[in-house]
A = this chain, B = another copy of it.
Amino acid sequence: MSRLRVESFTISLDGFGAGPDQDLNHPLGVGGASLHAWALATRTFQKTLFGNDGGEDGIDEDHAARGFRNIGAWILGRNMFGPFRGPWPDESWRGWWGEHPVYHVPVFVLTNYSRPPLIMEGGTTFHFVTEGPVVALERARDAAIGKDVRLGGGVNVIQQYLRQRLIDEMHVAISPVLLGAGEKLFEGINLPALQYACTKHEATPSATHIVLSRQ
């Protein structure tokens, strides 16, 4: 059964999943990059993002690595794909990741503004879905051919899927930083009422890792 998984989604001690004022120079909002220090140090992220052979092993790495295993498609909110709001000004924006994105599988981008698919190098194709989260999930499941679908974020998109109980498993890392403003991952979300429980909890000097599972 193809599951919908959130992996390595990181929040601050005060609960924010991204800093405020996202723009071209701050893809994760102001201060948002500090959230991801735990991940950037890992072998998986060093290899995936930078092509480096170094990086750390251990619990942080275990969580980072799991996030890329058995993934056949991704879903992203439009703000994770780019810094623009409203209609596409043109088709020149091709994502934050250059011509060879890190995904290597079909990626379904939720947006209100249609756009033709964007075929990138290395197996990534961005598909733009205007019919909402449920349709995006159906299309991603079809594309994943039996593998799981990874939901990248952002906060608002994760909340939409959580409220519909569509997420099977969700790994959240809590980083030892304070953001003070931005988007709170669990704002207005009653996880026990939605029948999610914390099924794994382990911590390192860099982050506390929790796994929330749908019961």
Contacts and interface: CB of A to CB of B under 8 A. Distances in A.
A192 B178 contact: yes
A180 interface: yes
Interface size classification for chain A: 20 to 34
Interface in A171-215: 172, 174, 176-181, 184, 186, 189-193, 196-198, 201-205, 208, 210, 212
A174 B174 contact: yes
Interface string A118-160: 0000000000000000000000000000000000000000000
Given A15-B15, A203-B203, A208-B203, A180 B190 contact: yes
Interface string A6-21: 0000000111000000
Given A14-B191, A203-B204, A198 B176 contact: yes
A31 B205 CA distance: 28
Contact of A191 (B180, B184, B192): B180
B178 A201 contact: no
Most B CB within 10 A of own CB, among A180, A184, A212: A180
A197 B184 CA distance: 19
Given A179-B192, A180-B191, A193-B180, A208 B15 contact: no
Contacts of A176: 198, 201, 210
A71 to B, nearest CB: 25
13 contacts: A13-B198, A14-B191, A15-B15, A15-B184, A15-B186, A31-B192, A176-B201, A178-B198, A178-B212, A180-B192, A181-B193, A203-B204, A203-B208
Interface of A: 13-15, 31, 172, 174, 176-181, 184, 186, 189-193, 196-198, 201-205, 208, 210, 212
Given A174-B174, A178-B197, A180-B192, 17 more contacts: A13-B172, A13-B174, A14-B189, A14-B191, A15-B186, A174-B208, A176-B198, A178-B191, A178-B192, A178-B196, A178-B198, A180-B191, A180-B193, A181-B190, A202-B205, A203-B208, A208-B208
